[in-house]
């Protein structure tokens, strides 16, 4: 079946612009996670959604970052007023339930000029 | 506090050698889960294995084996008879029962297998 799908694959934007990254999880997976992978910080958790529960936003680095998950399926990660330190690969993962193995998408490589 | 340490940044071996990737973790939870993921040059993280804290049985899957020892808080990964296709970055990760299932990753070990 289809895996986790992320778009766009690559995004180049100017500092100060807003960006939206999209994640389409595996069908039937109730848990969805966003992570960020950068050279200096490794792989970091950003946010978690599980069904209709309140999301765990404890990993979001600043209030410029937000995410939503509509209808328990597709998720969008939004970064406002981008900064150069936001340059990274943003990874989305989904799992049947929390604590089950997570399956990752190919990521969105974000470059801030 | 939860933490995962992969002390080996890079390992280089010649094909057919055995190689062990080390992983040490810290957690206060009594129930937790440990994972290994592979990230080949193409970039996608591929799930390899999950163990829960109550199951210390070692696991073997083909050329891959995992050694989980709670006494030393370690979850090491061995590749037997390595192949060039095993070249990748390998991540060890921890998930705590008291948490939301989010993964705490180690810094990763880059494995290069030379022909």
- Shortest distance between the Cα of B17 and any Cα of chain A, in A, equals 28
What the block records as the tokens of B18 is: 């055995």
| Region at A65 (left for phi over 0; alpha for psi -120 to 50; beta for the rest) | beta
| Region at A71 (left for phi over 0; alpha for psi -120 to 50; beta for the rest) | left
Q: How would residue B59 be classed by pLDDT, with cut points 50, 70 and 90?
A: confident
Cross-chain residue pair A33–B103, CB shorter than 8 Å: yes
Q: Which residue of B has its CA nearest to A43?
A: B105
Cross-chain residue pair B103–A99, CB shorter than 8 Å: no
3-class SS at A99? coil
How far apart (Å, rounded) are the C-alpha atoms in residues B37 and B55?
19
- Shortest distance between the Cα of B105 and any Cα of chain A, in A, equals 6
Q: Partners of B104 in the beta sheet? A: B94
How far apart (Å, rounded) are the C-alpha atoms in residues A15 and A68?
23
Give me the residue label for tokens 């990874």.
A91
pLDDT beneath 50, residues of chain A: none
Shortest CA distance to A107 belongs to which of A87, A92, A95? A92
Q: Count residue pairs from A and B with Cβ separation < 8 A.
A: 56
| Residues of chain B found within 8 Å of residue A100, distances taken between Cβ atoms | 50, 101
pLDDT digits (tens, 9 = 90+) for B75-109: 999 999 999 999 999 999 999 987 788 999 999 99
Alpha-carbon torsion angle B100, B106, B107, B113, nearest 10:
-120
Cross-chain residue pair B105–A42, CB shorter than 8 Å: yes
- Report the pLDDT value the prediction gives residue B56, as an integer from 0 to 100: 84
* Per-window interface: B 51-110 vs A, CB < 8 A: 91, 95, 97, 100-108
Q: Which of B33, B45, B99 has the most A C-beta neighbours within 10 Å, making it the best mutation to test the interface with A?
A: B45
Under a CB-based contact definition with an 8 Å cutoff, are residues B44 and A93 in contact?
Answer: no
- The closest CB to that of B100, out of A35, A50, A103, belongs to A50
- Report the pLDDT value the prediction gives residue A1, as an integer from 0 to 100: 56
Give the number of C-alpha atoms closer than 13 A to the C-alpha of residue B9, restricted to the C-beta side.
2
- Report the pLDDT value the prediction gives residue A70, as an integer from 0 to 100: 85
């Amino acid at each position: 079946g289809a895996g986790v799908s992320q778009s766009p694959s690559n995004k180049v934007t100017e500092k100060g612009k807003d960006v939206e990254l999209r994640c389409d999880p595996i069908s039937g997976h109730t848990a969805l996670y966003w992570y960020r992978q950068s050279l200096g910080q490794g792989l970091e958790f950003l946010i978690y959604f599980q069904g209709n529960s309140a999301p765990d936003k404890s990993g979001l680095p600043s209030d410029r970052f937000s995410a939503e998950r509509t209808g328990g399926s597709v998720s969008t990660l939004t970064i406002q007023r981008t900064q150069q330190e936001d340059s990274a690969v943003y990874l989305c993962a989904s799992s049947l339930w929390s604590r089950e193995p997570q399956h990752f998408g190919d990521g969105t490589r974000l470059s801030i000029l | 506090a939860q933490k995962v340490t992969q002390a080996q940044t890079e390992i280089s071996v010649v094909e057919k050698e055995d190689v062990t990737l080390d992983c040490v973790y810290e957690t206060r939870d009594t129930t937790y889960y440990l994972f290994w993921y592979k990230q080949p040059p193409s970039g996608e993280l591929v799930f390899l294995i999950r163990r829960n804290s109550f199951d210390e049985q070692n696991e073997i899957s083909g050329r891959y084996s995992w050694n989980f020892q709670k006494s030393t808080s370690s979850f090491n990964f061995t590749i037997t008879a390595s192949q060039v296709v095993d070249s990748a970055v390998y991540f060890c990760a921890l998930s705590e029962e008291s948490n939301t299932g989010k993964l705490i990753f180690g810094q990763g070990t880059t494995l290069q297998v030379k022909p």
